[in-house]
Amino acid sequence: MRRLCSCGQNMDLGFRLVIFENKFQIDRVPILECEDCEYYEVLPAIKCDLTSLLARLKNEGEGGRVLFTEVNEFADVLYSSYLTWKRTGDNQSFEELLEQGCEERINLLLDLYGCAKKASDSRWMNEISSRLAPLSKYVKERQCLETK
C-alpha cells in the first residue's frame, strides 16, 4: 500500500473526510498521503467508486454524512485491516493482513451468494457479485505480483 510521492518520499495509507459541494460528507475515504510535503490523493483502487458515489449523492440531492466503508467493500476491509495492524503492531505486514481480510470477506460473500442463489434472488446475487469484484481484483493482483 505504499507509493513514492513526487517529492521522493513514501506515501502512507490514511483515511480522510471528503466534503463535496459543502453538503455531502464522506468519511473514511482511503488516501495515500505524504507526511513530508503534505500531498495526498484518493487511493487509486477506490477512486472510481468514490466518483460514482458522489454522482449518486448529487442526483439524490439530499446532504448528509456517509461512511465510505459502509458502501464500499474493499474500503471496509482496508479500514478494518488498517485498524487491526495499527492496534496489534505485530510482525505481520499490512499487505498480508489486508490479503487475509480480503480472502475472509470473499468467503463470507460467497456463502451469501449461495444463499441468494438458493432463494433465486437475482438482485441480491448481482449485489453480492459487485461487492466481490474489487476484493477479488485486489487478491488476484497481489498474487500476480508475488509470482513475478
- Which pLDDT does position 115 carry in this prediction? 96
Please give the mean pLDDT across all residues of the chain. Answer: 90
Residue 146 has pLDDT above 80, yes or no: no
Coil, helix or strand for 36?
Answer: coil
Please tell me whether residues 65 and 78 are part of one structural domain: no
Confidence of residue 128 (pLDDT cuts 50, 70, 90): very high
Q: Return the pLDDT at 71.
A: 92
Q: Please state the rounded mean pLDDT for residues 6-14.
A: 91
Same-domain check for residues 26 and 92: no
> Looking at the structure, do residues 104 and 121 belong to the same domain, yes or no?
yes
Boundary of a domain, candidates 50, 71, 92: 71
* Chain segment 63-76, per-residue pLDDT in tens: 889 999 999 999 99
CB atoms within 10 A of CB 90: 9
**Residue 2, C-alpha cell as written in the block:** 505504499
**60 and 106 co-located in one domain:** no
Same domain assignment for residues 77 and 61: no
- Residue 18's domain comprises 1-71
pLDDT band, residue 79 (cuts 50/70/90): very high
SS3 84: helix
pLDDT of residue 53: 92
3-state secondary structure of 120: coil
Task: Encode pLDDT of 95-110 as tens digits.
Answer: 889 989 999 999 999 9
In whole angstroms, what is the distance from residue 76 CA to residue 65 CA?
Answer: 16
Q: Specify whether 18 is located in the same domain as 38.
A: yes
Count how many domains the chain has.
2
Same domain, yes or no: 76 and 51: no
Write down which residue in 71, 99, 124 finishes a domain.
Answer: 71
If asked whether residues 39 and 6 sit together in one domain, one would say yes
Q: Are residues 27 and 84 in the same domain?
A: no
Instruction: Based on the fold, state whether residues 64 and 78 are members of the same structural domain.
Output: no
Across the range 121-135, mean pLDDT stands at 93
Residues 80 and 128 occupy one common structural domain: yes
pLDDT bin (cut points 50, 70, 90) of residue 45 is: confident
Of the residues 71, 99, 123, the one at which a domain ends: 71
